[in-house]
Amino acid sequence: MKDIEQLLIKSLQAGQSVSVDDLGGLNAYHELINVVANSKIMDEFLKILLEDAKIFDQTTESTLIQEIIIRCFADNNDPIAIRNAIETLCMQPQKLAYTFDTLLNRAGDVSGQSMIRGYFLLGAFEIAVRNKAKRYSLIGYLIDIKTTDDPEYLKYVAKITGVCYTNFQTEDLVEKLTEFVTAKVGEDDALYELGMCFLTKALNSATQTRAIANFDSAMKLFGEAGSHGRHDADVYTAAILTLKKFVDRENISELKEQLEALKRALSIYNARDNYSQQIHWVGLRNTEIFYWYEMADYLTTLLNHFTAPAWLEPVVVIENYLLKIYDCSRTIFKKVATGGFELLTRPIIQAKFIEQPERFFC
């Protein structure tokens, strides 16, 4: 362990705040760039560099800063350091847009660990969301990925591809997810994300006929994802079927039976996909669950007070509940299956909120 690492560890253990100057200054950082970039605590070095406003005010030294940061992302292979560094990047992606090419190159390195590649892909996505030029590069990369790539990595690709569609509405991304599903790669993530693509299409449909067709496609895919253990997919399946029964003006007894099925799916989802309240993205997940229960309670109350469903305008449910649930679930960007990518399940993916829900039942 090098002196600069020992100094940083000692300071962190003592609970002391550390600046770049405390570690010898920016020149020391740069002279020891190999040590910093390959360190198991690279993320701590990176955080200190980014938080030191005094250094960033010195624009003449910005080239040194960028070189250090790029090397950190280019050279490091420690999963924990990379995860934390990407988390730091996701808090200020615009400031670190110059790292995009490095991140995408690391994501595309087939010799790398699938989890590490997934972290780098997430970082590239966060930058691309805010940078149109990078957006097209990311979309091109996703479209070119082969179904013969590492199966574990393809699960992460499926997740990013689905959320990219939410943000960018590029049909080529739907085709890529369809390719994954056809090739049976990406597992439940590909099925779920393709289902979310069709849900997006349904919420944006200009006519009732088109919307219902897209809802049917989404429901079928959610059903397949549910067979792989995706409880969130089960809830969407039950919710879509409930709304369809209202649209079809089913009788009260059938509507009540379907509503009970929705409540059962929601209870299982809430009970089995349970996360520690200490995780900072859980607030959004709790909000999503709240909206699900609120939607179910709203429908239950109405069914208990009316003898015919003709009064219900499904658009009210979609606008007041389903859109909010959709927004939360897209923002959480969460998964159920194991594999390490749950470390990325944080509210750092900002989904595009669907506009003009009133168009659904024109």
111-161: pLDDT as tens digits: 999 999 999 999 999 999 999 899 999 999 999 999 999 999 999 999 999
pLDDT at 348 over 60: no
pLDDT at 355 over 80: no
186-241: pLDDT as tens digits: 989 999 999 999 998 988 888 878 888 999 999 999 999 999 999 989 999 998 88
Task: Please state, as a whole number, how many other Cβ atoms lie within 10 Å of the Cβ of residue 338.
Answer: 7
Query: What's the alpha-carbon Rg for the chain, to the nearest Å?
Result: 23
- 224 vs 289, residue with greater confidence: 224
- Read off the tokens for 174: 């739907």
Mean pLDDT of the chain: 81
Write the CA distances from 300 to 262, 304, 321, integer angstroms: 11, 6, 14
72-109: pLDDT as tens digits: 999 999 999 999 999 899 888 988 999 999 999 999 99
Alpha-carbon span 98 to 127, nearest angstrom: 9
- Read off the tokens for 92: 């200020």
DSSP secondary structure letter of residue 128: H
Query: pTM, whole model, 2 decimals?
Result: 0.82
Give the pLDDT of residue 74. 98
Of 132, 116, 135, nearest in space to 124 by CA = 135
- Contact partners, residue 4, CB within 8 Å, separation at least 6: 23, 24, 28, 32, 35, 36
pLDDT at 358 over 50: no
Give the pLDDT of residue 57. 58
